[in-house]
Structure 1
Amino acid sequence: MGATDGYAADEYDVVVVGGGPTGENLADRTAAAGLRTVLVEQQLVGGECSYWACMPSKALLRPGAAAAHARAVPGIEVGDTLDAAAVLARRDAFADHWKDDDQVAWLRGAGIELVRGHGRLVGERTVRVDDGRTLTARHAVALCTGSVPDLPDTPGLADARPWTNREATGATMVPRRLAVVGGGVVAVEMAAAWRSLGSEVVLLVRGGHLLGRMEPFAGELVADGLAAAGVEIRRFTEVVAAGRSGKVRLTLDDGDEIVADEVLYATGRRPQTADLGLESVGLEPGSWPAVGEDCLVADVPGGWLYAAGDLNHRALLTHQGKYQARIAGAAIAARARGERPDTARWGVHAASADPAGPPQVVFTDPEAASVGLTLAAAERAGLRVRAVDQDLGAVAGASLYADGYTGRARMVVDLDREVVVGATFVGPGIAELLHAATVAVVGEVPLARLWHAVPAFPTVSEVWLRLLEAYRDGR
């Protein structure tokens, strides 16, 4: 029987709303399981990550970091400025010049149908597209529409025409002066990127720390790196009014005024559910849908509605959205076969890595990377834990990597089970250390076994041996 035999024209096994990385991966899993799958996307297939977040932002960040690392090694001559036009051109290439032809071709090759348009729920297992089509699902509708910037209601902000992550990653000209409002990942990464391209950057941080969800030392070392690069950081600062008259003008709560060519607001995200039709199935419009471990929406009867990725607020990270997509896609396929999904912790249909603490890298210079629980989060969870710290610069591999290497590593150990429940690394080029820590945390590898995972010499990874020694010696 062919893939569409026995189906009405607009009837599918699975309807996926949202064609970013999460939606693509979920659709791939259900199509691979033999389920007729359609993906509805109103903008570019590939979503935020491909065109306005992960890929273009890292393309902007990499040249500045590479130049800084090269300058730290004697014998390499590196100029003080980057070729901004070349960096922006490379960024454009990584964003596929904001065309999704390759991603659409991939969908077709995977056997996934594509409907262009805005899709919204209009009832049980039913999605209406603004082109007039009504799509019905035999087994599941999966909402994968992600999140959008959440801007404050600061007086005059709309008139200031602020950048969000989209404008910050897609700008075609380097602003002479850029104000960045926020202290999280987008704020510090874009402050670093545009400073490296020649902008004068001022970072306005409402609280006292950067990267508040990481260990405190991570934000401090990143702040030191930004300041060394020439970023002005103003803490405990709130913008109380904004406007634009040629230049952007921001009034601060202490009465000072900041004048800039552009202002980037990186102050959080909200779910992209305002016009998703949640009310048609009894959910609150604009809410983050609550889901189970298999991403099945908890408050909708019948076991047919899923929400994966940013939309469910479990972990607002591209790689975690893709992970959830694989979990949810497998659960949908299992239920379609009449099987009961395995949603026990670490089960094949459970996104257990989300609450355990997903991995994250901040691609500033120095980089900051973490997985699992911080010391404070572990203590709040009621665990009996101990933090072990190590100076990364004291490791032989780090001293070879760069003169004057500055960094720090922390391992958080559950004393009752003697397993690692969290790890944080800050330093130049440490992003590739993170997966080993992720394996240790997710695999709940006993410290006694980690002693036998011998790091190669001389690499930065030798910090693992130093951390284990410090734990053994009570340091």
Structure 2
Amino acid sequence: MTEAVEYDVVVLGAGPTGENVADRVRAGGLSTAVVEGELVGGECSYWACMPSKALLRPVITRADARRVPGVRQAVQGPLDADAVLAHRDEYASHWKDDGQVAWLDSTGARFYRGRGKLHGPRTVVVEGPEGEHHVLKARHAVAVCTGSRALLPDLPGLAGAKAWTSREATSAHAVPDRLAVVGGGVVGVEMATAWRALGSRVTLLVRGDGLLPRMEPFVGEHVADALAEAGVDVRLNTDVSAVVRDGGTGPVTLVLGDGDRIEADEVLFATGRAPRTDDIGLDTVGLESGRWLTVDDSCRVEGSEWLYAVGDVNHRALLTHQGKYQARIAGAAIVARSQGVPLLETDRWGAHAATADTAGAPQVVFTDPEVGAVGLSLAEAQAAGHRVRAVDQDLTSVAGAGLYADGYRGRARMVVDLDREVLLGVTFVGPGVGELLHSATIAVVGEVPIDRLWHAVPSYPTISEIWLRLLEAYRQG
């Protein structure tokens, strides 16, 4: 057995979450090793946030410009797909991680490239790309930050069909003439938006009766209408029962539950996520491989004194910014515990409790129109037993919307806790609403009383004046 090297902390996974855990514990004076078998920077940098938003930004910019008199005439032509894809490549660093590795080195952490697995308590074994073997021992903590992967359904023919997942959808180097998208969640609607604008004939197949089902129902209605107007064939209440693609090349045929068939050049399955915990040695520490890891608010795995699970793997909030937030919390907790500092487990808003995951995790969906939501939907608040009231306003009620775009369409909702008169959730749908979301996040997470929000005066004429309209509607009862 190779002689073990000791560190205070070993981080398994070097995506944004793992990078931030390493940075925080290093800043706290702890020696740190980071293990990554793919690219440093993880899913967000190369196959999710950055490349997807680079694809979507030209789409949204053109759509906004076409709604402004004096500009729309100049932007009637098609997008330059080659330029968009080249811009995307730059934002994905051409799938090279030299810059990220240099940053990680600058923190003082020791980087091990290779496949890392737990091998008993506080021990990680790394198999390097050239067959080298490392054994790492953690004095204080091992942080599992391995993220999540696309979850494919068990369908006849799918295994050999070379279907796209979110990775292929954000990194493809050519525009397919026909693209079928299976799934009506965030990845499905964003990629349908992007590839339709780049020239694909897109068919969106959704099992349920609406898009973005975890959000307020009106959100999915707005997005579905806009996709249809853009030329996407949106089919709700549609099941896929089989996939046919001979040899994994040529056109792909989707067999639908009603017997109908759809032919496409590529098919994207955007049907959920699974944790990357199936081959990291969880069984060597008494945990079940392939499962989400249950943690407390400091992101420490339940029943363990040394194992942490941070980011997607704990299934609290599968969002990059929430993973980075958890990393800050977990890093602070690891440092404090290494120094023998007692943590106040009852301190709801303390530096060692990732309570924002449940109190108000914000999310923007970069479709046209955009969606911004934070906190609980009306249905979620009611299911949780809160006595609530939903206040809705059409975004066209404010002057800023009309100035932003001709024919502006959008809606806002705030969910009010009637017992405490604070906001439990806020949702916006409409062009440009992503930039409204942080104000809503502050209101929800900060539990700002309605009476205080009344004195937060929005600037005129901006879309943020919708806050005034929402508060007026609430006060008028």
Same fold (TM over 0.5): yes
The answer for unaligned runs of 5 or more in structure 1 is 1-7
RMSD: 0.9
The answer for unaligned runs of 5 or more in structure 2 is none
Q: Which residue of 2 aligns with 1:434?
A: 437
Q: Secondary structure at the match of 1:160?
A: coil
C-alpha separation in 2, matches of 1:342 and 1:248: 56
Is 1:29 matched with 2:24? yes
From 14, 18, 37, give the equivalent of 2:13.
18
Is 1:398 matched with 2:401? yes
C-alpha separation in 1, matches of 2:162 and 2:76: 34
Is 1:54 matched with 2:55? no
From 79, 83, 86, give the equivalent of 2:80.
83
Q: Which residue of 2 aligns with 1:317?
A: 319
Q: Which residue of 1 aligns with 2:291?
A: 287
Q: Which residue of 2 aligns with 1:452?
A: 455
Q: Which residue of 1 aligns with 2:105?
A: 108
Q: Which residue of 1 aligns with 2:234?
A: 233
C-alpha separation in 1, matches of 2:49 and 2:261: 32
Is 1:297 matched with 2:301? yes
Q: Show the 5 A alignment for 1:201-216.
A: 201-216=202-217
C-alpha separation in 2, matches of 1:69 and 1:312: 38
**Matched letter for residue 111 of structure 1:** G
TM-score, normalization: structure 1? 0.97
Q: Show the 5 A alignment for 1:168-187.
A: 168-187=169-188
Q: What is the number of residues matched between the two proteins? A: 465
Q: Show the 5 A alignment for 1:37-436.
A: 37-76=32-71, 77-131=74-128, 132-245=133-246, 246-300=250-304, 303-343=305-345, 344-436=347-439
Contact 2:300-2:306 at 8 Å conserved across structures? yes
Q: Give the drift of 1:289.
A: 0.9
**Matched letter for residue 67 of structure 1:** R
Contact 1:283-1:299 at 8 Å conserved across structures? no
C-alpha separation in 2, matches of 1:342 and 1:260: 56
Q: Give the drift of 1:357.
A: 3.3
Contact 1:142-1:306 at 8 Å conserved across structures? yes
Identity among equivalent positions (%) equals: 68
C-alpha separation in 1, matches of 2:62 and 2:107: 40
C-alpha separation in 2, matches of 1:164 and 1:153: 14
Q: Give the drift of 1:113.
A: 1.1
C-alpha separation in 2, matches of 1:386 and 1:9: 59
Q: Give the drift of 1:341.
A: 2.0
C-alpha separation in 2, matches of 1:261 and 1:342: 56
C-alpha separation in 2, matches of 1:142 and 1:116: 16
Contact 1:290-1:299 at 8 Å conserved across structures? no
Q: Give the drift of 1:9.
A: 6.8
Contact 1:20-1:47 at 8 Å conserved across structures? yes
Contact 1:387-1:410 at 8 Å conserved across structures? yes
Q: Secondary structure at the match of 1:274?
A: coil
**Cα deviation 1:425-451 (Å, max 9, x = unaligned):** 000011000000000000000000001
C-alpha separation in 1, matches of 2:204 and 2:269: 10
Q: Give the drift of 1:80.
A: 3.1
Q: Give the drift of 1:127.
A: 0.3
Contact 1:160-1:249 at 8 Å conserved across structures? no
Q: Give the drift of 1:61.
A: 0.5
Contact 2:21-2:331 at 8 Å conserved across structures? yes
C-alpha separation in 2, matches of 1:209 and 1:222: 10
C-alpha separation in 2, matches of 1:210 and 1:339: 47
Shift >3 Å, 4+ stretches: none
**Matched letter for residue 397 of structure 2:** A
Contact 1:159-1:242 at 8 Å conserved across structures? no
**Matched letter for residue 231 of structure 1:** V
C-alpha separation in 1, matches of 2:343 and 2:27: 17
